[in-house]
C-alpha cells in the first residue's frame, strides 16, 4: 500500500484527492513512514520538518478537499526543497559548517513561496555538496548521500538529496538548483525528470554563487508533473532583477502534441565527450525512437566548440567569490576539494575572466544559429551511469566532476531550456537519462518532446528499498 501511494505522480495524487479516493493525511503519513525507514540508508535530508506540524497541515488540506475548495494546485502534496534554497523558519546551510544556523531565516525563496501558496507541504530540506560546488552529493555538514537504486552509488549532485528522496518515494516532487547540471545530473542517476528552464523563467533568488549560470527547477517522476510545477514557479519576482516577464503559457496545454515533423539533432558526444558504452547505447536508442514518433533525426558530431574551459572559469570564479568574506578559520573548515578549486580560481586574471565572458557570448550565438536548423538537440544527459558514492569521478575520468558531465553545463552558459528524461537502465540496473535541449524560450517544446518520449517509453519501475 505504501508503494502504491509513494510513487504517485503529482497529477495523479491531486486527481485522487479530487475524487476522494485518497487524502493528504494518508500521503503525508506514507512520506514520513518511508523517510524514517529509508533515510538512514540514503542520507538525503539535512533538516526534517516537524511531523506533527506536517500532519496538521495535511488535516487542514484534507478538510479543504472535502469541501471542494482546495487552496491551490499543490494542496496537500508532500514535496522537498534543496538546502541551497531559502525556506522560511528553517536554516539554509548549503552543505557548509561555515554558515551560521542561528539566524532568523524569515524569507522563502520565490519558488518556495509560490508552492506554499498553492498548498504544498514541505517535508524538509535536502542535502547538497558545500555551496553546490560539484556533481555528487557529500559535504562536511551532512556526509555522503546515496542513490536508492544502489546505495553504494552516488545520486549525483548538486541536488542529490532532492533526487535521492524523490526516487525513494519520499515526497512527490522536489525543488533543486542547477548551475552546471545540478537538477539534470541527479535526475539522470536516479531515474527522474528534471528541467532547467530558460534562464530567467524561474526567479533565481538568492542569487547563485555561480551568478547567471544558476537556475531553480523542478524534479519529478513525470514530464506532466514537471510542466505542472513549472507553471507554478515560473512567476516573476522582483527579487530576481533578471527574471523574465510572465510567459502567459500554461505548459500543460499542448503537452501531448507530439514531435511529428520536428527537426531533431542527436549528438552522441558533442565532439569532445568520452561516453561509457552502456550509456551511449541507451541514449542512441532513445534518439532513434523519435523517428518512430514522426520526427526527423540527424546525427551531428559537434554542434559547437568544447565549452569546458569557459564553464570552469565562470563557475569556479563564482565559488571563490562566494567565500570572499570567510576567515582563515572558516576556510579551513571547507571541503578540501572546494578549497582546491577556489585556490585555482583566485589565480584567474581579469583578462582571462573577460575573455571567458566573450567566449560565452560566442557560444550563445553559435547555439542560436544551430537552432535555426534544428528544433531540438538530443544528447545523453551524462557520460556515465551512477558510480561509487563518496568519489568525485569514476575510474577513467580523472579527479574532476566536470569530466563526466560534459552534456549539461553548456546550457547553463547559454541559458537554453534543457530537460533530462529517463531512457533505460544499464545491466546493473542503474538509470540513464536522455537530455533534450531547445532554443531560448522554447520550454514548452522541450516539455512536449520529453512527454512524447516518456509516454512511448515509460520507465515502469522504482527502487525497491
Burial profile 141-159: b = 16 or more Cβ within 10 angstroms, e = fewer: bbebbbbbbbbebbbbbbb
Q: Under a CB-based contact definition with an 8 Å cutoff, are residues 156 and 192 in contact?
A: no
Residue 231 belongs to some domain of the structure? yes
For the residues 156-182, what does the mean pLDDT come to?
98
Read off the pLDDT of each residue in 394-421 and give the average, rounded to a whole number. Answer: 98
Q: What is the mean pLDDT of residues 287-299?
A: 98
Arithmetic mean of pLDDT, 403-418: 98
For the segment 245-255, what is each residue's pLDDT rounded down to a tens digit?
A: 999 999 999 99
7 Cβ neighbours under 8 A, 6+ residues apart: 169, 221, 462
Query: Within 13 A of 240's CA, how many CA atoms are on the CB side?
Result: 27
Helix (H, G, I), strand (E, B) or coil at 423: strand
Whole-angstrom distance, CA of residue 46 vs CA of residue 248: 36
Structural domain includes residue 178 = yes
Rounded CA separation 36/44 (Å)? 11
Give the per-residue pLDDT at 67: 98
DSSP 230: H
Q: Does 213 reside within a domain?
A: yes
Q: What is the pLDDT of residue 189?
A: 99
DSSP string, 57-77: HHHHHHHHHHHT--SSTTTT-
For residue 258, is it within any domain?
Answer: yes
Burial of 67 (0-12, 13-18, 19+ CB in 10 A): exposed
Q: Whole-angstrom Cα distance, residue 9 to residue 459?
A: 13
pLDDT at 2: 78
Q: Is residue 414 part of a domain?
A: yes
Domain span at residue 132 reads 2-456
The CA-atom distances, in angstroms, between 359 and each of 355, 418, 432 are 6, 21, 31
Residue 239 and residue 110 in contact, taking contact as beta carbons nearer than 8 Å: yes
Res. 359: pLDDT tops 60? yes
Spatial CA neighbour of 174 closest among 117, 258, 249, 111: 111
Confidence tier at 462 by pLDDT (50, 70, 90): very high
Q: What is the CATH number of the domain that holds 223?
A: 3.90.1300.10
Q: What is the pLDDT of residues 118-144, one digit of tens each?
A: 999 999 999 999 999 999 999 999 999
Residues noted as catalytic = 82, 158, 182
In the predicted structure, residue 1 carries a pLDDT above the cut 70: no
* Residue 462 domain flag: no
Cell representation of residue 211 = 551568478
Which is more confident, 299 or 459?
Answer: 299
* Cell numbers placing 88: 522560511
Inter-axis angle of helices 160-167 and 24-42, to 10 degrees?
A: 120
Alpha helices of 213-348 — where are they, by DSSP H?
223-233, 277-292, 308-322, 328-331, 336-345
Asked, for residue 248, whether it belongs to a domain, the answer is yes
Number of domains within the chain: 1
Would you state the cell numbers that stand for residue 14, as one nine-digit string?
491531486
Residue 262 has pLDDT above 60, yes or no: yes
The separation between CA 386 and the C-alpha centre of its own chain, rounded to angstroms, equals 16
Q: How much is the mean pLDDT over the chain?
A: 97
Query: Mind giving me the DSSP string for 92-161?
Result: --TT-TTS-S-S------HHHHHHHHTT-EEEEEE--SGGG-SSS-EETTTEE--BTTBTTB---SSSHH
* pLDDT, tens digit (0-9, with 9 covering 90-100), for 184-225: 999 999 999 999 999 999 999 999 989 999 999 999 999 999
Task: Kindly state the DSSP code that residue 87 receives in the 8-state scheme.
Answer: B
What is the pTM for the complete model shown?
A: 0.98
Residue 198 in contact with residue 170, Cβ under 8 Å? Answer: no
Residue 170 falls inside a structural domain = yes
Three cell numbers written together for 347: 589565480
The grid coordinates listed for 419 are 530537460
| Residue recorded with cell 535530508 | 45
Amino acid at each position: 500500500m505504501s508503494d502504491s501511494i509513494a510513487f504517485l505522480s503529482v497529477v495523479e495524487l491531486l486527481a485522487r484527492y479530487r475524487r476522494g479516493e485518497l487524502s493528504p493525511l494518508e500521503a503525508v503519513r506514507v512520506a514520513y513512514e518511508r523517510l524514517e525507514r529509508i533515510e538512514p540508508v540514503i542520507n538525503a535530508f539535512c533538516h526534517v520538518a516537524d511531523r506533527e506540524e506536517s500532519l496538521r497541515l495535511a488535516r487542514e488540506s484534507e478538510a479543504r478537499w472535502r469541501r471542494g475548495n482546495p487552496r491551490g494546485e499543490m494542496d496537500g502534496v508532500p514535496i522537498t526543497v534543496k538546502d541551497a534554497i531559502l525556506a522560511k523558519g528553517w536554516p539554509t546551510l548549503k552543505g557548509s559548517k561555515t554558515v551560521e544556523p542561528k539566524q532568523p531565516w524569515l524569507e522563502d525563496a520565490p519558488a518556495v513561496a509560490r508552492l506554499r501558496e498553492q498548498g504544498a507541504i514541505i517535508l524538509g530540506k535536502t542535502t547538497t555538496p558545500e555551496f553546490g560546488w560539484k556533481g555528487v552529493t557529500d559535504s562536511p555538514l551532512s556526509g555522503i548521500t546515496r542513490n536508492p537504486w544502489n546505495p553504494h552509488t552516488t545520486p549525483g549532485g548538486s541536488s542529490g538529496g532532492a533526487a535521492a528522496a524523490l526516487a525513494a518515494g519520499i515526497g512527490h516532487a522536489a525543488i533543486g538548483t542547477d548551475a552546471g547540471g545540478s537538477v539534470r545530473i541527479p535526475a539522470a542517476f536516479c531515474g527522474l525528470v528534471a528541467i532547467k528552464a530558460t534562464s530567467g523563467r524561474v526567479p533565481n533568488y538568492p542569487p547563485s554563487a555561480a551568478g547567471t549560470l544558476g537556475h531553480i527547477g523542478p524534479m519529478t517522476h513525470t514530464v506532466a508533473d514537471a510542466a505542472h510545477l513549472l507553471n507554478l514557479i515560473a512567476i516573476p519576482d522582483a527579487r530576481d532583477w533578471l527574471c523574465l516577464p510572465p510567459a502567459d503559457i500554461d505548459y500543460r496545454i499542448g503537452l501531448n502534441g507530439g514531435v511529428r515533423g520536428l527537426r531533431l539533432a542527436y549528438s552522441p558526444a558533442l565532439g569532445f565527450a568520452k561516453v561509457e558504452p552502456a550509456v551511449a547505447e541507451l541514449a542512441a536508442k532513445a534518439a532513434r525512437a523519435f523517428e518512430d514518433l514522426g520526427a526527423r533525426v540527424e546525427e551531428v558530431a559537434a554542434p559547437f566548440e568544447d565549452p569546458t574551459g569557459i564553464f570552469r572559469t565562470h563557475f569556479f570564479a563564482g565559488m571563490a567569490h562566494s567565500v570572499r568574506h570567510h576567515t582563515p578559520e572558516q576556510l579551513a573548515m571547507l571541503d578540501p576539494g572546494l578549497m582546491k578549486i577556489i585556490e585555482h580560481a583566485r589565480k584567474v586574471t581579469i583578462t582571462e575572466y573577460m575573455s571567458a565572458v566573450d567566449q560565452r557570448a560566442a557560444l550563445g550565438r553559435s547555439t542560436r544559429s544551430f537552432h535555426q536548423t534544428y528544433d531540438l538537440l538530443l544528447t545523453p544527459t551524462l557520460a556515465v551511469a551512477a558510480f561509487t558514492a563518496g568519489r568525485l569521478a569514476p575510474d577513467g575520468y580523472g579527479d574532476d566532476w566536470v569530466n563526466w558531465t560534459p552534456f549539461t553545463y553548456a546550457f547553463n552558459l547559454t541559458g537554453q531550456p534543457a530537460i533530462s528524461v529517463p531512457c533505460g537502465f544499464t545491466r546493473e540496473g542503474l538509470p540513464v537519462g536522455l537530455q533534450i535541449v531547445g532554443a531560448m524560450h522554447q520550454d514548452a517544446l522541450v516539455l512536449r518532446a520529453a512527454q512524447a518520449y516518456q509516454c512511448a517509453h515509460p520507465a515502469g519501475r522504482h527502487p525497491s528499498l
